[in-house]
Amino acid sequence: MSQRIILTGATGMVGEGVLLTLLDQPEVETVLSISRRPSGHAHPKLHELLVPDFFDLGGVEEELRGYTACFFCAGVSSVGMKEDAYTRVTHDLTLHLARTLLRHSPEATFCYISGAGTGGKLMWAQVKRRTENDLLALPFRAAYMFRPGGLKPVKGQRHVPAVYRWFSWLIPLARLFNYSSTLRELALALLHTAEHGTPKKVLEVKDINQLAKQ
């Protein structure tokens, strides 16, 4: 079945890497990127929906009909943020978009990019876990939580923080301990899950890398 995918976070490193990989896959019919600003990429399969405020989707709801999957790749660092502010942009915003999408594409598969360490004792890990739990409770066709670790960008990316360039040499080492993937692998794992499903609802780095090979 051809895939019609909604993607968030295309102006960030994770979302951009997923976007570029998806556009090269023959089974992907279209990608609707929802973001606050343009991704900087053009492709016949790519359609961009610019939304200044993700909490105000009333004017664009009709454009969310008929999609087979949503890959939620948007996110912010918790560094310097208080818990209430981080909860609003991580949990509340994600759930708002998910519930809006549910009204218009209830048969979609919802895939949320969380992160390795989710569920731990740190504030961000608890907020992410609460977000995962609330997404899993929504009545989509299916929902899956992805917890990647270190991620290697794909060729052609523009939105790569300098810190990733400085520490890119650590990615192969982290892979020896099942703590890293390429963004291509993450995208392929997302796509495979949207197409075929997988028994696990929460997918760690090892699961992601295995799914990418299928």
Report pLDDT digits (tens) over 25-40: 999 999 999 999 999 9
Backbone angles phi, psi at 186, to 5 degrees: -60, -45
Q: Where are the domains of the chain?
A: 3-212
Q: Tell whether the model's pLDDT for residue 169 goes beyond 60.
A: no
SS3 category, 136: helix
Q: The pTM is what? A: 0.93
pLDDT at 160: 81
pLDDT attached to residue 161: 72
171 or 51: whose pLDDT is higher? Answer: 51
The per-residue pLDDT for 124 is: 96
Provide the CB-side half-sphere exposure for 179 (13 A, CA): 8
Residue ranges in 49-182 assigned as alpha helix (H):
83-87, 93-104, 123-136, 162-166, 170-176
Nearest to 118 by CA among 209, 14, 211, 203: 203
The answer to whether the beta carbons of residues 164 and 158 sit under 8 Å apart is no
Cβ(46)–Cβ(11) below 8 Å: no
- Of residues 191, 195, 183, the one with CA closest to residue 205: 183
Length of the chain: 214
Mean pLDDT of 75-99: 96
What is the reported pLDDT for 1? 73
Cα–Cα distance for residue pair 119/126, rounded to 1 Å: 5
Please indicate whether residue 80 or residue 162 has the higher confidence score (pLDDT): 80
Question: CA gyration radius for the chain?
Answer: 16
- The pLDDT of residue 173 is 58
**What is the separation of C-alpha 80 from the centre of its chain, rounded to a whole number of angstroms?**
23
Question: Domain 3-212 carries which CATH code?
Answer: 3.40.50.720
